[in-house]
Amino acid sequence: MKNSIKTFVYALALVASASFTANAEDKETKKAAGFGTGIYSTKSGKINVLVNKVNVDASTTILLRNEKGEIVYRETINKSSQKFGRTLNVDDLESGKYEIEISSKGEKQTKFFELSEQQSERILAVK
């Protein structure tokens, strides 16, 4: 019974130390990131882009590309803006796949979305 208690205590200590190491690595990774983003669609069919920069010594660029790789929207945010948001109106864009890329100081974050037309149904009624 003593051996099983010792084994349990050692296993618990090993799990706790592994968990602590993983949390420390996660915190280091988060500190290394130059900015955080939030990109989501709204009920009205627009896309909100939110950026929170850690460093204010670099400008930030928002690019919107179509599936051919052509840039359909570009905006550069000045260095001094630490937190900012943009609402992208995609009503005039053609159906297809798109990519939103946010870059600052050599770091990039990318999200993808697709626009499609809703097909209308044809109904036949005989009276």
Q: Give the DSSP letter of residue 54.
A: S
Report d(CA 70, CA 10) in Å as an integer: 57
Q: Please give the pLDDT value at position 33.
A: 62
51 and 82 in contact (C-beta within 8 Å)? Answer: no
SS3 52: strand
Indicate the pTM of the whole model: 0.65
Q: Does domain 35-115 have CATH number 3.40.50.2300?
A: no
pLDDT digit of tens for each residue in the chain (127 aa)? 444 554 544 444 444 444 444 444 444 444 456 788 889 888 888 999 999 888 778 889 999 999 999 999 999 988 888 888 999 999 889 999 999 999 988 899 999 999 988 877 877 778 8
